[in-house]
Amino acid sequence: MSAPIYNRVALIGLGLIAGSMAHAMRAGNLAGEIVGTARSAETRAIAAEIGLVDRVTDTAAKAVQGADLVVLAVPVGAMGPVMEEIAPHLAPGATLTDVGSVKQAVIEAVAPHVPDGVHFVPSHPLAGTEYSGPRSGFATLFRNRWWILVPNGADAAATDRLAGLFRAMGANVDEMEADHHDLVLAVTSHTPHLIAYTMVGVADDLRRVTDSEVIKYSAAGFRDFTRIAASDPTMWRDVFLTNREATLEILGRFTEELFALQRAIRTGDGAHLHEYFTHTRAIRRGIIEAGQDTEAPDFGRSALSQGKDTAS
């Protein structure tokens, strides 16, 4: 068995991503010790009860002491205050990363508080489910998923070491600039989530369709909107508030496309609809060929559930 990549890892926040990191690091012997903490006493108690980490502390300041890797796994809006709390307690030479869905806002909130000698390498794993909390994680969450690094001038050796950890957990690693990351994620994640929340809200308001019909017939596309819309509300509130410009830009483009489809439907332009749907179908085929989903009618959720069950 190979030696751990980090001697002590501190996880600040113990939800889906941090929990999955803990499971994956345990499975691969990637960390000598894993220490965790969370704002909620209930979350800390559950983490201790299920043995999610080797040691649970009641404060972030205690968790980071002596850690050579610190992971900020809290909502984007909480990054700044948490960083202010832990800054005086970070070990010289430690690597600091985060798993936030927005990068420019995180850099602006965290970087001013990073002590000299600590290497801040922002990151974002493009993986997740609609579940949250300390029981939601599983070791295979990151397998064949992309983990984006935004080095932002960080030490190359520290960046390479962190990339090695993520690859050892099964992820593919790439690098981006912060503003480009935020635009890409506005297209691939943030705006689709906002549309899902909106569609579920529209169905709730549509009194011509009863509640029982919405539930009974949700095996159609609406079911997958509800799955996305079940995601953690605090996290997504912070995502939209901190990635405002990119999300609004993509929403503007979406609105233009939607108006064009409305016009085609209104005027009976079947050729335009067929051409548009053929193009979007090809994009779906590209996602499958890239290994980022399966052709299964359930969008691969049964396989995901099996991976979760075996890891918990």
What distance in Å separates the CA atoms of residue 295 and residue 298, rounded to the nearest whole number?
8
What distance in Å separates the CA atoms of residue 232 and residue 193, rounded to the nearest whole number?
11
Q: Average of pLDDT values for 121-138? A: 92
In DSSP notation, 179-222 reads HHHHHHHIIIIIHHHHHHHHHHHHHHH-TTS-HHHHHHTTTTHH
pLDDT band at residue 284, thresholds of 50, 70 and 90?
A: confident
* pLDDT reading at 232 higher than 70: yes
**Token pair of 154, please?**
């960080």
Given the candidates 2.30.30.90, 1.10.3660.10, 3.40.190.10, 3.10.450.50, the CATH classification of the domain at 180-311 is 1.10.3660.10
Given the candidates 3.40.50.720, 3.10.20.310, 2.30.42.10, 3.30.70.360, the CATH classification of the domain at 6-176 is 3.40.50.720
pLDDT digits (tens, 9 = 90+) for 54-66: 999 999 999 999 9
Domains 6-176 and 180-311 are alike in CATH topology = no
Q: Mean pLDDT for the chain?
A: 87
* Percentage of residues in the chain having pLDDT higher than 90: 61
pLDDT band at residue 207, thresholds of 50, 70 and 90?
A: low
pLDDT digits (tens, 9 = 90+) for 5-19: 999 999 999 999 999
- Residues contacting 280, CB < 8 A, separation 6+: none
Kindly report the pTM of this predicted structure.
0.81
Least confident of 42-56, 73-87, 230-244, 263-277: 230-244
pLDDT digits (tens, 9 = 90+) for 136-180: 999 999 999 999 999 999 999 999 999 999 999 999 999 999 999
Residue ranges of domains in the chain: 6-176, 180-311
pLDDT band at residue 79, thresholds of 50, 70 and 90?
A: very high
pLDDT band at residue 216, thresholds of 50, 70 and 90?
A: low
